[in-house]
């Protein structure tokens, strides 16, 4: 009877050792799988970040184009007004010079 009890204790210890080994193997497998998932998530996050950055850059470029067009139109309008004013003042300046020259030195 004592032999049977001793034998069942030894078998139970052997099963415990085997279960422990299997648990270690499973833990290593789970760790490896978790590392794979971590790497996959990291790569996906990097890719998503790059895509979001590219979208932000494209949006900024488009907005700056619109701003540049607006500024260009405003500048062209301002320049045309200045040209008109300059043309009017040029005629006045020419008349003033002719008036001075003709007025001081006689008439033609």
CA 5 distance to own-chain centroid = 72
103 lies in a domain? no
Average pLDDT over residues 9-13: 90
Task: Give the tens place of pLDDT for each residue, 83-98.
Answer: 988 888 888 888 888 8
Q: Is residue 83 part of a domain?
A: yes
| Residue 106 backbone class (left: φ over 0; alpha: ψ -120 to 50; beta: rest) | left
Q: Does residue 92 lie within any of the structural domains?
A: yes
- How many domains does the chain fold into? 1
Residue 92 structural domain:
1-98
Cα separation, 40 vs 34, whole angstroms: 10
More confidently predicted of 10 and 73: 73
pLDDT of 100: 82
Q: CA 40 to CA 46: how far, in whole Å?
A: 10
- Residue ranges of the alpha helices (H) in the chain? 2-105
């Amino acid at each position: 009877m004592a032999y049977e009890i001793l034998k069942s204790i030894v078998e139970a210890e052997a099963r415990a050792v085997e279960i422990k080994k299997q648990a270690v193997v499973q833990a290593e497998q789970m760790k490896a799988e978790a590392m794979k998932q971590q790497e996959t998530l990291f790569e996906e996050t990097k890719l998503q970040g790059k895509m979001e950055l590219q979208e932000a850059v494209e949006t900024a470029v488009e907005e700056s184009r619109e701003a540049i067009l607006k500024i260009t139109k405003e500048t062209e309008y301002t320049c045309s007004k200045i040209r008109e004013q300059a043309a009017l003042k040029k005629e006045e300046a020419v008349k003033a010079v002719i008036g001075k020259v003709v007025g001081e030195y006689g008439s033609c």
